[in-house]
A and B are shown apart, each in its own frame.
Chain A
């Protein structure tokens, strides 16, 4: 080997270079990896680990304490024979539809009104955002008083002279679930408005100029041009609000206590009640697992569809 061929030399040079740069790249990756370990561990153990554990518990006879005597799907059979569980699941669907729908519609509407250049914009924004600073518990208590037929709105309006006035949804088993949506929307609409407003402010002003030149009425611009452009904001709002619906527990506890009867119960409350108060660990775990499956079944097609569309859109 007197003289290496130039391409070999080049190659070895190349290799050296890649090695070097590989090392350079490797170091920040290593520290980033280290930094991620705690978060990863917590996610894997507390999230996925406990999902598995919950499923395992749901296959046992556990009552007060976890015991590992497996009984197959007996807890699921008991769960599905439980009328209260089905009421809770039905309520979840009703509440989810009304709450998310209400937040999107009212939030978007308020954002448009503010975007039209209302006077004292800052004041309105703060006003609508204010309920968000309260916890669901406080929201629940406030609305419980407002809607109590003996001392709230109904009594106040009757005292003004309209003695036939009725607003007693909170004590009516067939209506109580709607009161949850009212209180929930009241609290969360500000956040939705803020998100939509941020989206509206990002719209290219030239679109408005162009539409004005073309003489398109304002409502049509919003409906047919702006709204489709806001797709990602709608997506964000939907995901955020869905999470709130699925977790809904404190609101129902404070507002109706699940009542009258169990007419306004929600699955999360069912699960907590059975695990903590009734010492029915197995049944509660089964409920939690079914709830998780429901969430995945409902949300994942939408996320998949949206993300796919976004990726496809970028490809153009």
Chain B
């Protein structure tokens, strides 16, 4: 999918999709919502990684 190891890139995409959903999805229930700063950093790093990996992505072989 990207230059250098499709399987790794697929896992990266899935992690970005997971983090997107964990932070922005789900029903909001009252209670303490605890998110360490490190988590948010992880998301931003992952999103940047995704954008750069898909920008260099090639279409799959037919």
* A pairs with B: no
B interface with A by C-beta (< 8 Å): none
